[in-house]
Amino acid sequence: MRILPFIAYILACLYSFAAYAEEEKPAQYNNIVLQGLNKVTGKVLKFDGSLGTVLRFGNLEIVARRCWKAPPEDHPENAGLLEISELKSGEAPQRIFLGWMFSSSPGLSGLEHPVYDLTVLDCTVKDESEKTDTTAPKEEPTEKKKEQKAEKAKSTKKEKKR
């Protein structure tokens, strides 16, 4: 008679474990968040894009193939399977990196480039309605504004001299 409660307890544990296992499906991330550094100018740009689309940073073309994020109860970690090509005028794009890049250890498997540095920051899920144009993020949007202001200032100075 003492075996009956024990069997009921084991069955209840197995049932709860099976229910837990069905609930735990890995999230399907469809968006990656990257951070780029231009080592020459010191400018940092944070940008994101959908998996499979071409992202531009300077003269680099970046295609994120997969994105992985650790569960919340584990150590924080993000990883992206990236394919990075360098564009040079008059030449075909040259692949300079293909592999997994980890957010917690960028030096473990990172891009070795004299001008640019890339880091994976996060993996996110975006609905179709939230998606924006991510094909060509601007490396330095403030530089254009500064140039436009300088040109306006020059033109106003010329007009004042006349």
Region 28-32 average pLDDT? 91
**Is pLDDT larger for residue 156 or for residue 42?**
42
Contact assessment for residue 119 and residue 101, using Cβ atoms and an 8 Å cutoff: yes
Give residue 7's pLDDT band: very low, low, confident or very high (50, 70, 90): low
CB contact at 8 A, 29 and 124: yes
Residue 135 included in any domain: yes
Q: Do 137 and 55 meet the contact criterion of CB atoms below 8 Å apart?
A: yes
Q: Identify whether 98 is part of a domain.
A: yes
| Main-chain dihedrals φ then ψ at residue 149, nearest 5 degrees | -65, -40
Q: Is the pLDDT of residue 121 over 70?
A: yes
CA 144, 149, 151: angle at the middle one, nearest 5? 95
- Residue-range definition of the domain harbouring residue 136: 31-148
Residue 59 placed within a domain: yes
User: In this predicted model, what pLDDT tens digit does every residue of 58-112 receive, in sequence order?
Assistant: 999 999 999 999 998 999 899 999 999 999 999 999 999 999 999 988 788 788 8
Write down the pLDDT at residue 72: 86
- Number of structural domains (the chain) is 1
Least reliable range by pLDDT among 9-13, 87-91, 141-145:
141-145
Within a domain: 82 = yes
Is 2 within a domain?
A: no
CB-neighbour burial class of residue 118 (10 A; exposed 0-12, middle 13-18, buried 19+): buried
Which range is least confidently modeled, 40-44, 80-84, 118-122, 156-160? Answer: 156-160
User: What does DSSP assign to residue 110?
Assistant: -
| Structural domain includes residue 14 | no
What does the mean pLDDT of the chain come to? 79
Q: Which residues contact 132 (CB under 8 A, 6 or more apart)?
A: none
Global pTM?
Answer: 0.63
Q: Is 3 part of a structural domain of the chain?
A: no
Structure token digits, residue 98: 């293909």
pLDDT at 110: 83
Q: Residue 35: which pLDDT band, with cuts at 50, 70 and 90?
A: very high
In a domain, 142, yes or no: yes
